[in-house]
Structure 1
Amino acid sequence: TAQYTIPVVLHVFHYGDDGKIDSAQAQSGIDILNNDFNGLNDDWNTIDPEFDSIKGTLDIQFCLASLDPNGDSTSGVIYYEDSLAMLNIPDLFQYAWDNYKYLNIYLPKYTSGSPSLFTAYAYYPSTSGSNSNTGGIFYSSIRWGYGSHSELDPGQDWASVGTHEVGHWLNLRHTFENGCSSPGDYVDDTPPTLGGAIELSGCTNNDLSCSVSTNGENYMDYNHDCKKMFTQGQADRMTAALNLPSRITLWSASNLAATGCLSSTPINCSQLEVTDMVIDNNNLTIDITIYNGDTIQINYPYVGLVIDNNGDTIQNGSSWIFVQFAGDTVTFSYTLNSVSPVFPLTVYFAYSDMIGGMGTDTCVLSYAAPIGIPEPPTKPKELLYITDVLGRTTYPVPNGVLFYIYDDGSVEKKIRLER
């Protein structure tokens, strides 16, 4: 499961069969996004060696929503009959689903402007835009994915124009922003370029338009038949955008459950480990630290039961827990039912991939007694020697005299050392 999952709704505008992409073509466009953003595109390993070291991925997944805003089932592809093949962007906002819950992608056959030059358009992150539901991506349906209504041939990189537009939606500028002048596209590791017209001269990665090699294979250039990569700096900028107010709600666990995009893949119990347990008998609390070494995040986990070595239930979990991402270590606090449990403890760790109650999947974990500093072994004291105040030493011998006690109570030899 990806760290970020974005619910998507496709609004398809068609006239009869004209422009009406089917579900397979709709999904193929989503697949292209998922491949491109995660470095799974077929040409990922053919990137110009000069830029191979800076290529980056985002660990993101785009999911066609399976629940609509009313909680009803949906395919995530909504069709609208319209006799106009060319639609104006502002006219489409009336069909928007909540921008805080869905990425709205509008697919008329053409948008206003010349179809050969105006294939797609996207809005940058904006709280005001999300508030008014005026955002999202606009894309020509005949260039979305592959299928009977597509102008694209399999493998043709025009299909990655969608990746380019989602890059804008995640706050990326064109690599040729500001031309050769600073601050360029506001990403440090993308070289400056004049860009724009580079598509006319084919795949020319090393065009020295700004006295440095041009990263013409970048998704945010206009070289549409050579798109292969984002840089790590661009991935970092998109990660920051995902945490903006207008984007952060989209990938929250509660929203993924509400839109039907929350993964139901079971986690691997062998990858969970109780790494620490702190018991406060005075306040009757128990803190349990669990490491998730799996590649799948745990949504709303519970510690269902904690049973000690005597079979006593010392905790019968009932509290909510936040999402625990893959590779995270998280400490959970609970009320303790009894004091002084007998180690080792058995932890019944239940988790759920949906909101609303404890999950049916359970992992059984164990935790031995905490390791402390052992007390040194004890044994009878052994006399080594006695030294008096004058520095004279007497070593013990069988039946030997070690010291004298006089009538006045004084002792001749006053210091005894032991080991």
Structure 2
Amino acid sequence: MRARTCAEVLALVLIATLSAAACNGDPSTPVEEDAPAVADIDPEQVEAAPAPLRRSCATIEPSEVEREAVDHFVRSRVAVGFTAETAVEIPVHVHVINKGAGISNGDVPQSMIDEQIRVLNEAYATTRFSFVLASVDRTTNATWYTMGLGSAAERQAKRALRVGGPDHLNLYTANPGGGLLGWATFPSNYSANPSDDGVVLLNSSLPGGNAAPYNEGDTGTHEVGHWLGLYHTFQGGCTKTGDGVDDTSAERSAAYGCPMNRDSCRGGGLDPVQNFMDYTDDACMDAFTSGQAARMSAFWDSYR
């Protein structure tokens, strides 16, 4: 499933701070914002661990000032009628980075790519967005194959492979280091660093991969949500601002597995554990709210 990150503001902000407290499990600490992405534990790296597999974070978090600047800008555009609710078909360019031939070396087959596009279209069916596969390229590079978030390898790979403008989704499959399932950039990042724009996914998280219970394609769904402007549902914990979406219940911390009756914030209603922007298993996730759809739409029209 998902992963995450942040950065930038209007045309002037950028850069945030690592949320060490969030990664250490402090339930009162907000987890992520507008920057490049987040992370989840790679099943292949923890199979021998005694504890059950579950997601973990390495999120870069912007300050509240940076976050408010971005959201204020979007709200101002909406207020003057800038947004348009026309359907949007997003071209997707898939860059398969591998260390050799065969699926065991990360050279995912076309069938898994086609299924990932299908999963995205199914997940976003209640929004204005749909996805069409525009291109697939394959690169054998052992260094890029294990690129980490913010690494020189990531920068090199993206500068060499990325195509299209801000309205084109570049999706990189690899086997990231540091136990990551994936990460994404946010819409407001684009103008400051166009070559960095896009989504990185652990190849085995694609549908049919071996990253169970995160192998049904919803890591892609989650990360594309960030790419379209969404925060985690547990962003901000039980604070009033939360994830910036009115119709997602407040959630103190990330949920794992599928705890259907979890209620972590007093008076806030049951946690949105089935939302694509939480940390639950792929099989548990199945929805975006209308508020999330509106936020993605506003960010698209403002930045993409």
- Shorter-chain TM-score bucket reads 0.5 to 0.7
Q: Distance in 2 between matches of 1:157 and 1:82?
A: 24
Question: 1:96 corresponds to which residue?
Answer: 162
Q: Distance in 2 between matches of 1:79 and 1:145?
A: 18
Higher helix proportion: 2
2:278 aligned partner: 221
Give, in angstroms, the shift of residue 194 of structure 1: 1.7
Match of 1:171, as an amino acid?
A: G
**Pairing 1:19–2:106 present:** yes
8 Å Cα contact 1:98-1:133 kept in structure 2 = no
Name which of 184, 188, 193 aligns with 2:251.
Answer: 193
| Separation in structure 2 between the aligned mates of residue 181 and residue 163 of structure 1, nearest angstrom | 26
Q: Matches of 2:138 and 2:215 in 1, distance apart?
A: 26
The equivalent residue for 1:143 is 205
Structure 1 portions without partners, runs of 5+: 39-56, 66-75, 248-419
Deviation of 1:222 after TM superposition, in Å, equals 0.5
Which residue number corresponds to residue 262 of structure 2?
207
Q: 1:120 to 1:127 in 2, by over 3 A?
A: closer
Structure with a larger share of its residues in strand: 1
Percent sequence identity is 32
Report the CA distance between 1:62 and its aligned residue: 0.5
Tell me which residue corresponds to 2:92.
8
- How far, CA to CA, are the matches of 2:181 and 2:137 in structure 1? 20
- What amino acid maps onto 1:206 in structure 2? N
Residue identity opposite 1:10 in structure 2:
V
1:156 Cα offset (Å):
6.4
Deviations 1:244-263 (A, max 9, x none): 23x1xxxxxxxxxxxxxxxx
Tell me the CA shift for residue 128 of structure 1. Answer: 4.3
Contact 2:204/2:215, CA 8 A, preserved across alignment = no
Q: Deviations over 1:103-156 (max 9, x none)?
A: 111111x11311xxx10101110264476321110101111222xxx2157x96
> What TM-score comes out, normalization by structure 1 length?
0.46
8 Å contact kept, 2:205–2:214: no
Matched, 1:240 2:302: no
Alpha-carbon distance in 1 for matches of 2:261, 2:132: 36
Q: Distance in 1 between matches of 2:93 and 2:194?
A: 17
Paired residues, what number? 206
Q: Which of the numbers 160, 169, 173 marks the counterpart of 1:107?
A: 173
Alignment partner of 1:83 out of 126, 142, 165: 142
Aligned to 1:166: 224
The CA distance in 1 between the partners of 2:219 and 2:92, in whole Å, is 17
Q: Is the 8 A contact 2:207 2:215 kept in 1?
A: no
Distance 2:155 2:118 in 1: 27
How far off its partner does 1:31 sit? Answer: 0.6
What does residue 128 of structure 2 align with? 59
In structure 2, the partner of 1:335 is none
Q: Structure 2 counterpart of 1:86, which letter?
A: T
Q: Do the aligned residues in 2 keep the contact of 1:157 with 1:224 (CA within 8 Å)? A: no
C-alpha deviation, 1:209, in angstroms = 0.7
| Unaligned runs of at least 5 residues, structure 2 | 1-85, 149-153
Q: 2: distance between equivalents of 1:140 and 1:79?
A: 15
Report the equivalent of 2:73: none
* Partner residue in 1 for 2:116: 29
SS of corresponding position for 1:105: strand
Counterparts of 1:241-390 in structure 2, within 5 Å, are 241-245=299-303, 247=304
Deviations 1:78-113 (A, max 9, x none): 1001124411333322121133352111111x1131
Equivalent residues of 1:26, 1:144 under 8 A apart: yes
- Which protein has the larger Cα radius of gyration, Structure 1 or Structure 2? 1
Q: Given that residues 245 and 295 in structure 2 are in contact (C-alpha distance below 8 angstroms), is that contact kept between their aligned partners in structure 1?
A: yes
After TM superposition, give the deviation of residue 19 of structure 1 in Å.
0.5
User: Given the superposition, is the C-alpha separation of residues 15 and 131 from structure 1 closer, same or farther in structure 2, using an over 3 Å criterion?
Assistant: closer
Q: Check conservation: 2:207, 2:216, Cα contact below 8 A.
A: no
SS in 1 for 2:170: strand
Q: Secondary structure at the match of 1:244?
A: helix
Deviation readout 1:192-235 (Å, 9 max, x if unpaired):
00232x21xx3112212102311110000111241110111001
